[in-house]
Structure 1
Amino acid sequence: MKRIKKIAYSFCSFASQFVSNTFGTYVNYFYIDLMKLSPQLFRNGWILYSIWNAINDPLFGHFSDKTRTKWGRRIPYIAFSIIPLAICFALIWSPPFRVERGQTTQLFIYYLILVFLFDTFYTLIFLNTSALFPEMFTNLKERTEVAGYRNYLLFIGLIAGSALSPLVYTRIGWSGMGILYGTIFIIVMSISLWGSKEKKEFGVEKALPFTQALKCSLKNRSFITYVLASFKFILINNV
């Protein structure tokens, strides 16, 4: 594969950190401090979100493994989730409801629905871009090279999402930031999609039934430890 294609694919790492770090860093400040949603309601919603976040990775991973289309089993999920994620991200920062108007319940439901949808499309995209990595690059030399590109772009996305956002929302507002970042996300992920390619031989492999795959995962102590530690970290860090 040409180097330009490898770099293009690696832009998925920028996109993932760009939106997730902006979301993770500012969503609680936005809804609690600015939108005046009570911390208790926000926390309750975040706990539900954290549970969904823990469930959807193995669930969507199973669906992806079993998918068979002429475009592959990973790329369709990525391609058809880019614009919905960008829209959800923009809408998170543009709630039409206000606590001072007596619309606390509506604001909470709006916030809950959007963070669930955002995480759903986020998982569909980046679970599959991650699954593509070992399938696209099968030798150690290529994997090391592309991992370097991904780590570099991941760092840029992390910095852009956290450090630049205050400058952006101060200048154009939260709604403007959501629209701008959503547009950037679409452009960057389109570049990554252009650099992505599925190999047919991986699509021939038959996936394990979901229950059998779940049993195998639950028997893996390292996997269970990782999942519990990740869930606890997300919960504590955001609640």
Structure 2
Amino acid sequence: MKILYWPKVLYAAGSLGTALSYQAFGTYIQFLYIDIFGLKASLVGIGWSVYGIWNAINDPLAGYWSDNTKTRWGRRVPWIAGALIPVGLFFYLLWVPPSPALNGGEIPLFVYFMGVVLIFDLLWTIVVMSWTSLFPEMIPDEKDRATVSGWREVFSLIGLLVGVALPPIIVGADWSGRGTMALWFGVITPASFAVSLLGSRENPAFQRMRQPAFIPALKATFDSASFRWFLVANLHKEFIFSIMTASIPFWAKYVLLIQSPATAFGAELGVDLQNSLLLGSAFVMALPGIPVWTWAAKRWGGVGLSLAGLLVLPDLLISSRKPLPRPARLRRLRHPLHDRLRSHYRVGHRHLGVAPLPIARRTAEDDT
């Protein structure tokens, strides 16, 4: 099934809604309910645990429903078209609880939070899983996939930038504008999926394939050793990313102490603008790298490249309040990679006190 170039670009536009809604939700919803609405962090933690379990259940269910759908429009398109408006509606409801829930105490607010989060996640999963399942079915060629993946990354980074950096400006320091933000994002998200439907093409061959029952299919999936290893790796990756994302608003307010206006280059920056600049700068820096990584994925393949990227994560996570030891105190390790490792972890990270664990451990042993 040959697909022209522009339908592929239109299909990739779904990444905008995926990133926009998920990043705004993952970054700010816990901060809103804990810090602004006053819900106990322990209750939100319980709710988030239930949400995680529910997410693990509804993902395979949504995939099973989509796989076994047979209509004149295909398997995936009906689910996307049917759920895209409800997902926008429940995204809006997340941010604007009704007065009885907001003013009725912790229990009504917690029940509302749980109910809307679980429904939103189910609808979001149905739309996004059906949309992503179209990708390998529409585009079997690996080079074409790399091209479409590049466009998906472009739309995804735009969604990330808007979903993370723009909310502080829209909602304001007191979060009074959260309804406006929820309305805009609740419209843009389904609109991006509607645009993606214009470029979506179902492959009839997949609809004719006989699908296994749910339990045997689930068992067959876990019989794959490769999938089990991938599941473990992906679980840890998503865990770290989720923690980092959800902690950003708390980190900005209580660690960086962004709680009042500041002056930079003679201009006064409000709390909302400071937060937007902080969060948006990382994504602005990532945009020029998209063509480079698209070319690299075509040249070396996506799996090895993604693993290499994950190896950089310790640069962000290994830190200390203490400064790095002086170079004279670092005894030379009997390994040719020592100088390269020391140089890599020192350059650009000295203010964080970052050092590779083997070097830090050997230094501590030498000092004793």
TM-score by length of 1: 0.93
Matches within 5 A, 1:143-222: 143-170=145-172, 173-222=177-226
Number of paired residues? 239
CA distance in 2, matches of 1:106, 1:29: 18
**What's the CA shift for 1:195?**
1.1
Distance 1:229 1:40 in 2: 28
The residue number in structure 2 matching 1:23 is 25
Change (3 A) 1:134 1:34: same
Report the AA paired with residue 5 of structure 1.
P
Of the candidates 64, 67, 90, which is equivalent to residue 66 of structure 2? 64
Q: Deviations over 1:181-213 (max 9, x none)?
A: 111112211111111111211110111111111
Q: What residue ranges of structure 1 are gaps of 5+ in the alignment?
A: none
Inter-partner Cα distance in structure 2 for 1:140 and 1:4: 18
Structure 2 vs 1, CA of residues 89 and 100 (structure 1 numbering), >3 Å: closer, same or farther?
Answer: closer
CA contact (8 A) 1:97 1:106 kept: no
Residues 1:215 and 1:97: Cα distance change in structure 2 (over 3 Å): same
Most deviating of 16-25 and 188-197: 188-197
Q: Which moved more, 1:71-80 or 1:214-223?
A: 214-223
Q: Distance in 2 between matches of 1:91 and 1:100?
A: 12
**1:129 partner letter:** W
Distance 2:231 2:116 in 1: 24
Encode CA deviations 1:40-89: one digit per residue, 9 max, x unaligned.
Answer: 11010100000011111111111111111111111111111100000000
The 8 Å contact of residues 13 and 157 in structure 1, kept in 2 or not, is answered as yes
Structure ranking higher in helix proportion: 1
Cα deviation, residue 214, structure 1: 1.2
User: Does structure 1 conserve the Cα–Cα contact (< 8 Å) formed by 2:102 and 2:109?
Assistant: no
Measure the CA separation in 1 of the matches of 2:104 and 2:201: 50
1:21 is displaced (CA, Å) by: 0.2
Partner residue in 2 for 1:47: 49
Secondary structure of 1:81's counterpart equals: helix
Aligned residues of 1:10 and 1:192 also touching (Cα < 8 A): yes
Asked if 1:85 corresponds to 2:87, the answer is yes
Q: 1:38 to 1:79 in 2, by over 3 A?
A: same
What's the secondary structure of 1:167's corresponding residue? helix
Residue 172 of structure 1, CA deviation: 6.8
Measure the CA separation in 2 of the matches of 1:62 and 1:178: 31
Distance 1:218 1:90 in 2: 36
CA distance in 2, matches of 1:224, 1:110: 35
Between structure 1 and structure 2, the one with the greater Rg is 2
Amino acid aligned to 1:132:
L
